[in-house]
Amino acid sequence: MAILMKGKDLSEKLLENIKKEVANLTVKPTIAVIIVGNNPASKVYISKKKKTAENIGMDSIIIEMPEGTIQQELETKIEELNNDKAVNGILVQLPLPKQINEYKILEKILPEKDVDGFHALNVGKLSQGIEPSAVSCTPAGIIEILKEYNIDIEGKHAVIVGRSNIVGKPVSYLLLNRHATVTICHSRTKDLESITKQADILIAAVGKAKFIKEKHIKDNAVVIDVGINRNDQGKLVGDVDFNEVEPKVSHITPVPGGVGPMTIAMLMTNTLRLYKNQREEIK
Ligand code: GUN
């Protein structure tokens, strides 16, 4: 039977440590979160971020902007937050409505307040092996999970299914920086199965429920399931067909309770790091 890599337990441990650290600070770390429009999933994520920040004694500012917001309005709001000394981290929830140029928005956030690590400068640093204070939260959480369960990365073949800017690409850099051999697959990949079957570490970030089956897996692989999909009954299911895959692997993350909770824990970790960097500059 596979070892379940319980991101939820690890996230609680990390958040407890952050909470203790924050309790000793006179000025609280503050994260500002901007949400544009009414994407229901985004709204759920935002309320989780706010609740978690509250639980650990951080301040959060939630800025809700209407679906019809234009580029300039959003950029002006970001500039305001860039200039606000009380704000340590800025997050713009993605996806954005289609009239808004996402790249330009992410470029507007001061790199030192870029709590998601999405600014081109921070992504560029990561790609060159210089890891910035804030790295994209889900990939950072995946690395923490591998560390917690003593999974060696060096020399292993890591196969990532999904090439998004939020997960697939940044996790590929993190793994490469830790000396894995990395393959990124995506929707146009031919004979996916022949590639995923080589994976010592398989990361599924496809966005399709139960997409990864037993036939995709090498015996004793380590499987990380980034998927958060809802099935017909409204239940959360991953990108991996857990029941098929679990008997074959050495380690696997459950959904829910695997990668998801780590994303928020890493967001709080990043906020605290940016806060510390900014306080260091004041001294
Ligand atoms: N949408 C889905 N995941 C993320 C994330 O990690 N950060 C932001 N800003 N938006 C997202």
Strand order of the β-sheet with 30-36 is 59-65, 30-36, 89-92
CA distance 199 to 217: 7
Residue of 121, 80, 81, 75 lying closest to 96 (CA atoms): 75
Compute the half-sphere exposure of residue 92: CA atoms within 13 Å on the CB side of its CA: 29
Catalytic residue among 77, 93, 200, 239: 93
Instruction: Tell me what the mean pLDDT of segment 254-263 comes to.
Output: 98
pLDDT category of residue 219 using cuts at 50, 70 and 90: very high
Instruction: Check if 237 has its Cβ closer than 6 Å to any atom of ligand 1.
Output: no
Over 70: is that where the pLDDT of 238 sits? yes
- pLDDT the model gives residue 283: 62
pLDDT category of residue 281 using cuts at 50, 70 and 90: confident
Instruction: Tell me what the mean pLDDT of segment 146-155 comes to.
Output: 98
Residue 256 belongs to a domain with what CATH number?
3.40.50.720
In a shared domain, residues 105 and 202: no
The residues, any chain, with a CB within 8 Å of residue 10's CB and separated by 6 or more, are 144, 145, 148, 262, 265
In a shared domain, residues 181 and 251: yes
At how many degrees (to 10) do helices 7-23 and 40-55 cross?
50
- pLDDT the model gives residue 198: 98
In a shared domain, residues 88 and 162: no
- pLDDT the model gives residue 226: 98
Strand order of the β-sheet with 222-225 is 3-4, 251-252, 222-225, 201-204, 157-161, 181-185
Over 90: is that where the pLDDT of 42 sits? yes
In a shared domain, residues 71 and 175: no
CA distance 182 to 70: 39
Is residue 116 annotated as part of the catalytic site, yes or no? yes
Q: At 56, list the tokens.
A: 């650990």
Is residue 93 annotated as part of the catalytic site, yes or no? yes
In a shared domain, residues 152 and 45: no
Q: How many domains does the chain have?
A: 2
Q: Is 239 a domain residue?
A: yes
91 Cα: distance to centroid of ligand 1 (angstroms): 8
Q: Is 202 a domain residue?
A: yes
In a shared domain, residues 94 and 157: no
Q: Which residues pair with 63 in a beta bridge?
A: 34
- pLDDT the model gives residue 280: 84
Q: What is the extent of the structural domain holding 36? A: 27-111
The better pLDDT of the pair 281, 210 is held by 210
In a shared domain, residues 142 and 66: no
Instruction: Check if 135 has its Cβ closer than 6 Å to any atom of ligand 1.
Output: no
179-208 pLDDT per residue, tens: 999 999 999 999 999 999 999 999 999 999
Catalytic residue among 49, 113, 125, 156: 49
Query: Residue 247 gets which letter from DSSP?
Result: G
Q: Output the pTM of the full model.
A: 0.97
Over 80: is that where the pLDDT of 102 sits? yes
Residue 99 belongs to a domain with what CATH number?
3.40.50.10860
